[in-house]
Structure 1
Amino acid sequence: MERFAHLVMHHRRIVSGIWLALFIGGMVSVSPLGERWSLDFSLPGQPGDNAEQQLIDTYGVSTYDSYLAVVTVPQGETVEGNRAAVAGVISAGVAAVTDVKLRVVDLASTNDPGFVTDDGRATYALIQAPVPVTAGPQIETQLDPALTEAARAAGFESGLTSYVLMSAGGDQEGSSVLVETLLAGAAALLVLLFVYASFLALLPLLIAGVSILVTFMLVLGLTTFTDVSIIVKFLVALIGLGVAIDYSLILVSRWREERAHGRSNEEAVVVAMKTAGHAVMASGVTVAISLLALLILPVPALRSMGVAGMLIPLVSVAVVLTLLPALLSSVGPRIDYPRIRKEGTASRGWSAWARLIVRHRVIATATALIVLGLLVAPVFSLKIGPGSSLESLAHNGPRFDTLQTLTDGGVGAGVITPIAVLVPARDANAAAQAARGVDGVQLAVVGTTSGDSAVVDVFPSRPTLDSDASTVVTDVRAAVESEVSGQVGITGLGPTIEDYFSAVYDKFPYVLVMIALITYLLLVRTFRSILLPLKAVLLNLVSLAAVFGSIVFFWQLGHGSDVVFDVAPTGAINFWLPVVIFAFLFGLSMDYEVFILTRMREEYDRTGDTGMAVITGIGRTGRLVTSAALILFFSFSAIATSPGTDTKVLGTALGVGILIDATIVRALLVPALVSLFGRWNWWLPGWLARALFVEPSPLHPVRIVPPEALPEPGKVPAGIN
């Protein structure tokens, strides 16, 4: 790292020029990237996805979003008495959708009275369209106005709704990614001004801007080879902002500290790279490794999040370890003005806090474990599903009112999550009859026939929006297969949940073990210890459990979501969210562990005393870690301002995770446990050290420092600095 620092400083103009060119390339990449985001959450090879592909190939439509067009006749009239006119309204709406083929299943096509409400005044039609290829509004922009116009001409009322339309938040609008990033950047700037109290606060923002745009440019290149989920744009912009600023914060602060101790500018850069730069490198690699979990899973959308997610820390590390030292060595001292805050001594407040923990390590450990236990407790109620109960979707506006018309008329709300059953045409009637007899099914009809294939449309009584309600899918499959001699395919929202469980969650424990093992080996080499990495991995898992417990309490059970976001309890957590939250938080939370323990390791190697290492390590990193956590929290809070419930859950989960980790875990439990374990923290036997190509760390004689010998708050013994 020392040689690398000298190389960067010697060629700083070339380094700066290269990053300037990449920055411009990133700016150019943003616009074309907006048209390449994918909405695909398919699971290739799974039964539900195979049935979905059969539906697409045979009928040209998908169950991605099943629209419900509702027509209501005036008071005193019935649908049956206006049957031809009602059918004309639906036909007019469908005819207005140009350039795509639609599949329509309604009263006119089936003659089934189940499509009419109990009072006889309203009817609904199931309308399915091809798979969307771009984000944003789909066929509803043509279908809804045409239905309204045709219904008004006939003297009727109409409405259009669907699960996707309602989960978008009704009439709610969210800010754009650019606005969210700018808001998060402004909040980060306030924190940086507090930390540096000089124009140096602008430097981490510059590094973040370069990192984000270069990452977008790489993602654009990635879209030429594979689909990239639309969720990635939030991850790159907002997580990239927080990660790049955090890494810059650590390196710049160490550079300032070394300059405050009398080193020349270039010497300060070299020392900062050897110490903080090494920690940044280890942290970035740890975050990237944690995202391997998404690459291993057989879900293209999650894999794209994993690849793009790995680019975020790796690009940030590259920029921080090249462009940042180049700038510090050239303009650093000039922009470090006015130097109101000094870095020559450790923080008095954090040193006093660490001294208190060292004195009362058992109490501190017990307190942290009790708080974590309370946060973890709700996790045992976790339900996996599409992530939004019916109540947590839009509860006002035309989409909600349209569904309310049906439910008020005795039609079960499960109509919003229909199940498509593909069977041989010869067995279609038998399959529909078998599905009608399943408990939890309100309607099953032969919807469409094409050649030797038929689609039986099954409407559950309740929405299949969690792992409990989706059991009706299993019952329907069993009932139909018992009556059909040929192949049976089932697709829809409920079958997708089943597919995710078999494709993702059945294998995820093995993935988790693999990621934990790789991370452990990396940290053994970083900390030169057997015990510290084990503690770090275990505490990360406990911290993650506390995060999941918190989002179950807040979102699934609804203790706060209605007050803060005006969203009712979701009833379940979306099936893709837990693995994404794990992959990002496992690495991001480890950042602070790496920064704190690396500094503690440095101080222990210098003094040979664990108590001094804890006090100095926390005194030197406490303010930085807290500031870095606040910056990441602001970035994740910006994600939570998006209109979709799922992105709100993701943003709050990541934000709460960072706060839990930076406060309860890293500021309380970590120093308490390090103080408890004493010299065993630092032990690395020679045989393992040789295998990992690092220096061994033998057990030193216990050095007991009585409490009265510990330094006063804010004071550090000579030699520590």
Structure 2
Amino acid sequence: MLDKLAALVTVRRRLVLLVSVLFCVVAGGLGASVATKLSAGGFDVPGAESTRAAATLDRRFGSGEPDLVLLVTAPGGVDRPDTVRKGEELTARLAAEPGVQEAVSYWTLGKAPSLRGEGAASALVLAHLKGDEDQVGRYLDQLRPRYEDGYQGLTVEFGGRAEVARELNEQIQKDLMLAEALVLPLTLLLLVFVFRGVIAALLPLALGVVAIIGALAVLRLLTQFTDVSVFAMNLTTGLGLGLGIDYSLFVVSRYREELATGATVSEAIATSVRTAGRTVLYSAVTVALSLSALLLFPMYFLRSFAYAGIAVVAFAALSALVLLPALLAVLGTRVDKWSWNKPRKAPGGQNLWSRLAAFVVRRPVPMATGAIAVLLLLGAPFLGVKLNLADERALPADAEAHRVNAALLRDYPARETDPLLVVAENSGAPRSRADDIDAYARRLSALGHVSRVDGWTGSYADGHRIAPPTASRQRYAAKEGTWLSVVSSVDPYSEEGQALVHDVRTAEAPFDVTTAGTASAFRDTMDALTGRMPYCLLLIAVTTFVLLFLLTGSVVMPVKAIVLNLLSLTATFGALVWVFQDGHLRWLIGDFTLTGGVVATTPIMVFCLAFGLSMDYEVFLLSRIKEEYDATGDTVGSVVRGLGRTGGIVTAAAALVALVFLSFLTSGITYMKMLGLGLALAVVVDATLVRGVLLPAFMRLAGRFNWWAPAALVRVHRRIGLHEGATESRTR
């Protein structure tokens, strides 16, 4: 199949190039507007209790967790008569804005002490905007210009979830432009160094650009049918360049190697597509299946990375198998034009990697033991991981939403902007259930870490009513239902905050209730992640096993690959905790706000992406080792020669891909820094310590058992497995 493809592309090379150019023009036009269609949310779990409760509050009560928080600072204090008048007017004007369902403030809630800052220099206005994340964003864009410069001498600063989403959208687009401006020229310079030539170095960038253009067009089409996260754009760029580099290195290196042995251009292309092209095909399927595991999670933030990643992989592989051979057919031997230190006529001689492999296979036990010890030591910090969700602290410290949050933590001890909302949608008319509501509110206020409970019947603390109902109590009522606001004294991500969610959900209630709010959403998110994670691992393990079995005909090699990949990721997860939870290397990574934890979705993204990229190098290396073994039947020799021929390419590819992902460290968003550092470390560790030490040590210890499979599976592989031409395996 691949021979026929190579022959067709070689003959029709000009048509292939013309179609490719037309594709880039059409797809580029389609994908150009994708950034305006993407969303900054996607962390909520569809169908979860917290999501249903929030939707009920929005639909039935026109209320909910504050989307928008205005920090209002008054010269001379917030209790001056003229400031009180202005504050009331500001609140009323905001409440009348299109899309604002309700707005309350320190001044309209009877000068509630919890809404006044320390020193009485500032106070809060809390607003709830209607609609989904995109609608909320549009309403905020409309009203923000009317208040951002202040109101009648009052200074107004914006915070809350809606403002965070808006600033994340702006920040991610700035980050993307900065990363591209840095990484493209640096990548080209490194490619010139790796290929020792200008023409060959331009090919990986061309493939990466095609993959990025195609993936952005796919994302734009998907926005017509489903929500897609704006953060998928970063992955599109990073993975597109990374896989374009990987796949081009594999194919072009093999092509130049074949030319150096005296093969014609057509013969070199055919051999490259049949061997390196097969590796690209297997690698692409493996990476795509690893990324598809993200589709098992319900949050569209994670699913968006699967959409982008699978699209990028597909276009990168298609470009490597179709566009790249056509370019090579046009270039011919001119691929080495403007080159120096061209490949030797007899490639595959002794080099650093073959000498390293020879050293390792002579001492497999101590080398493997040392490498495993290092990886486990580096991964040890992950044992103390604490998880949380992304919030305004992920933004740069000078971002407005971040500054407002810092002021809230500093000057507002009560967590008024992070209440736990208890919704009784069908409890009956509040007037007829006043006694039940009163008793239930008292019960909730007596729970540990509850500062206050507000509801239709008044305010409560420590099991007692501390304030009678006020004029604002109607916000807690609907025709056949009510809700209560439970203000806690603890961080919603802490063990105490999560214990409070459990206590509220299990407390005796006179009617059916559901809970919303940050703490409740975090609990539902963790339940969704931990519930789907076993299926994610199973999908990746099974697909990896099947694909590597079809590639090698062995059941040992797939198991080895899965174990080594998991081992290589320990260092990555340890680094995420050591850097972003414990706060080390901030001078190098870039300043960020410590939250005492790691964003819960990040390790999952890193795992799926890094596992797929690790299998990329595994497939490339195993393909060459298997090719050598099929020709000689010598396991140890095939490992040494295979690593000698591919080690330099894998290292170069890993260095270039790591550079692409390290560009994420320029992002002002903390969890994008996490993703970039995690993927860069995973790639580097896997391509060096794992492929350079652990793999040859394992294969030396396993000997001919490397290629073992039960007789029934041997027959399966002979029928549907992939082989190099007519070469028969000597594995049995």
TM-score, structure 2 length as denominator?
Answer: 0.87
Select which of 369, 373, 396 maps to 2:376. 373
**1:510 equivalent in structure 2:** 535
Question: Contact conserved, 1:561 with 1:568, CA < 8 A, in 2?
Answer: no
Identity %: 31
Q: Which moved more, 1:457-466 or 1:607-616?
A: 457-466
Select which of 364, 367, 370 maps to 1:364. 367
* 2:491 counterpart of 1:463: yes
Q: Which runs of 5+ in 2 are unaligned?
A: 456-474
Q: How many residues align?
A: 689
Alignment of 1:200-599 (within 5 A): 200-344=200-344, 345-346=347-348, 348-387=351-390, 395-396=397-398, 399=401, 402-409=404-411, 411-412=413-414, 414-423=415-424, 424=427, 425=430, 426=433, 429-446=438-455, 448-465=476-493, 469-479=497-507, 482=508, 484-561=509-586, 563-599=588-624
Question: Contact conserved, 1:70 with 1:124, CA < 8 A, in 2?
Answer: yes
Deviation digits for residues 538-579 of structure 1 (CA, Å, limit 9, x no counterpart) = 111122233112101111121223553111333222222222
Question: Contact conserved, 1:144 with 1:160, CA < 8 A, in 2?
Answer: no
**2:22 equivalent in structure 1:** 21
Tell me how far 1:520 sits from its aligned partner. 0.6
Tell me how far 1:629 sits from its aligned partner. 0.8
* 2:645 counterpart of 1:617: no
Q: CA RMSD in A?
A: 3.0
Task: Determine the C-alpha separation between the residues in 2 that align with 1:76 and 1:46.
Answer: 43
Tell me how far 1:431 sits from its aligned partner. 4.7
Q: 1:455 to 1:71 in 2, by over 3 A?
A: farther
Question: Contact conserved, 2:208 with 2:245, CA < 8 A, in 1?
Answer: yes
Q: 1:464 to 1:629 in 2, by over 3 A?
A: same
Task: Determine the C-alpha separation between the residues in 1 that align with 2:532 and 2:334.
Answer: 54
Tell me how far 1:15 sits from its aligned partner. 2.0
Q: Which moved more, 1:507-516 or 1:156-165?
A: 156-165
**1:58 equivalent in structure 2:** 60
Task: Determine the C-alpha separation between the residues in 2 that align with 1:77 and 1:286.
Answer: 61
Instruction: Give the residue type in structure 2 aligned to 1:189.
Output: L
**1:643 equivalent in structure 2:** 668
Task: Determine the C-alpha separation between the residues in 1 that align with 2:24 and 2:614.
Answer: 28
Instruction: Give the residue type in structure 2 aligned to 1:384.
Output: L
Question: Contact conserved, 1:416 with 1:463, CA < 8 A, in 2?
Answer: no
SS, match of residue 277 in structure 1: helix
Task: Determine the C-alpha separation between the residues in 2 that align with 1:565 and 1:328.
Answer: 41
Tell me how far 1:201 sits from its aligned partner. 0.8
Task: Determine the C-alpha separation between the residues in 1 that align with 2:304 and 2:120.
Answer: 48
Tell me how far 1:580 sits from its aligned partner. 1.7
Task: Determine the C-alpha separation between the residues in 1 that align with 2:368 and 2:306.
Answer: 34
Question: Contact conserved, 1:637 with 1:651, CA < 8 A, in 2?
Answer: yes
Tell me how far 1:699 sits from its aligned partner. 5.2
Task: Determine the C-alpha separation between the residues in 1 that align with 2:437 and 2:622.
Answer: 65
Question: Contact conserved, 1:87 with 1:108, CA < 8 A, in 2?
Answer: yes
Deviation digits for residues 148-172 of structure 1 (CA, Å, limit 9, x no counterpart) = 53251xxx55443336756968998
Tell me how far 1:599 sits from its aligned partner. 0.8
SS, match of residue 331 in structure 1: helix
Select which of 137, 140, 160 maps to 1:162. 160
Task: Determine the C-alpha separation between the residues in 1 that align with 2:666 and 2:223.
Answer: 26
Instruction: Give the residue type in structure 2 aligned to 1:457.
Output: S
SS, match of residue 150 in structure 2: helix
Q: 1:138 to 1:678 in 2, by over 3 A?
A: farther
Q: 1:61 to 1:619 in 2, by over 3 A?
A: farther
**1:34 equivalent in structure 2:** 35
Question: Contact conserved, 2:214 with 2:311, CA < 8 A, in 1?
Answer: no
Q: 1:657 to 1:431 in 2, by over 3 A?
A: farther
Question: Contact conserved, 1:421 with 1:490, CA < 8 A, in 2?
Answer: yes
**1:713 equivalent in structure 2:** none
Question: Contact conserved, 1:441 with 1:460, CA < 8 A, in 2?
Answer: yes
Task: Determine the C-alpha separation between the residues in 1 that align with 2:513 and 2:80.
Answer: 34
Q: Which runs of 5+ in 1 are unaligned?
A: 701-721
Task: Determine the C-alpha separation between the residues in 1 that align with 2:150 and 2:594.
Answer: 36
Question: Contact conserved, 2:626 with 2:638, CA < 8 A, in 1?
Answer: yes
Question: Contact conserved, 2:367 with 2:697, CA < 8 A, in 1?
Answer: yes
Task: Determine the C-alpha separation between the residues in 2 that align with 1:149 and 1:294.
Answer: 43
Q: 1:159 to 1:151 in 2, by over 3 A?
A: farther
Instruction: Give the residue type in structure 1 aligned to 2:48.
Output: Q
Task: Determine the C-alpha separation between the residues in 1 that align with 2:633 and 2:618.
Answer: 20
Q: 1:79 to 1:498 in 2, by over 3 A?
A: farther
Question: Contact conserved, 1:558 with 1:569, CA < 8 A, in 2?
Answer: yes
Task: Determine the C-alpha separation between the residues in 2 that align with 1:256 and 1:321.
Answer: 16
SS, match of residue 593 in structure 2: coil
SS, match of residue 566 in structure 1: coil
Deviation digits for residues 393-414 of structure 1 (CA, Å, limit 9, x no counterpart) = 65456545544555454524x3
Deviation digits for residues 405-440 of structure 1 (CA, Å, limit 9, x no counterpart) = 55454524x344333322244455555444433322
**1:139 equivalent in structure 2:** 140
